[in-house]
Chain A
Amino acid sequence: MRVRFWGTRGSIPVALTSADIRDKVAEALFRAEGRRFESVGEAHDFAVKHLDFALTHTFGGHSPCVELETGTQEYLACDMGSGARPFGAHVLARQSGKPATVNVFMSHVHWDHIMGFPFFGPAYVPGTHIRIHGCHEVIEQAFRLQQAPPCFPVEFSQLAADIEFVKLAPGHTHEISAVRVTPTPQMHSGESYGYRFEVGGKVVVYTTDSEHKLENRAQTERFVRFFHGADLVVFDAMYSLADAISVKADWGHSSNIIGVELCQMARVKHLVLFHHEPAYDDAAIEGVLRETRRFEELTRGTQPLQISAAYDGLEIDV
Chain B
Amino acid sequence: MPLAHRLYDNALVLAPAGRLDHDNCEAFREALAPHLERTAKDGMSIVLDLSGLEYVSSAGLRCFMLAAKQAKAQHSRIVIAAMQPVVAEIFQIARFNLVFEAFPKVRDALSALSPAAAAAFDRG
A217 and B95 in contact, given A241-B58, A257-B58, A258-B58 (Cβ under 8 angstroms): no
Question: Chain A interface residue count: which class?
Answer: 20 to 34
Query: Is B59 within 8 A of A241, CB to CB?
Result: no
User: How far, in whole Å, are A21 and B92 apart by their CA atoms in the complex?
Assistant: 29
Whether, in the assembled complex, B61 has its beta carbon less than 8 Å from a beta carbon of chain A, the answer is yes
Q: Chain A, 237-267, contact with B by CB distance < 8 Å: what is the 0/1 string?
A: 0001111011000000001111001000000
Query: Is B57 within 8 A of A261, CB to CB?
Result: yes
List chain B positions with a Cβ less than 8 A from chain A.
Answer: 22, 55, 57-59, 61-62, 65, 69, 86, 89-90, 92-96, 98-99
User: How far, in whole Å, are A294 and B59 apart by their CA atoms in the complex?
Assistant: 19
**Within 8 Å CB of A220, what residues of B?**
22
Query: Is A242 within 8 A of B94, CB to CB?
Result: yes
A292 and B93 in contact, given A217-B22, A242-B99, A298-B86 (Cβ under 8 angstroms): yes
Whether, in the assembled complex, A215 has its beta carbon less than 8 Å from a beta carbon of chain B, the answer is yes
List chain A positions with a Cβ less than 8 A from chain B.
Answer: 214-215, 217, 220, 240-243, 245-246, 255-258, 261, 291-292, 294-295, 298-299
Assuming A215-B62, A257-B58, what are 6 further A-B pairs, CB within 8 angstroms? A241-B58, A241-B61, A246-B99, A257-B93, A261-B57, A298-B86
**Within 8 Å CB of B58, what residues of A?**
214, 241, 255, 257-258, 261
Can you give 8 A-B contacts (C-beta < 8 A)?
A214-B62, A240-B94, A242-B94, A242-B95, A242-B99, A246-B65, A291-B92, A295-B89
Residue of A215, A241, A258, A292 near B95 (CB, 8 A) is A241
User: How far, in whole Å, are A217 and B58 apart by their CA atoms in the complex?
Assistant: 13
* Interface-central residue, B58, B65, B86, B89, by most chain A CB under 10 Å: B58
Chain B, Cβ-Cβ closest to A256: B93
**Within 8 Å CB of A255, what residues of B?**
58, 94
User: How far, in whole Å, are A257 and B57 apart by their CA atoms in the complex?
Assistant: 9
Query: Is A214 within 8 A of B59, CB to CB?
Result: yes
**Within 8 Å CB of B62, what residues of A?**
214-215, 245
**Within 8 Å CB of A294, what residues of B?**
89, 93
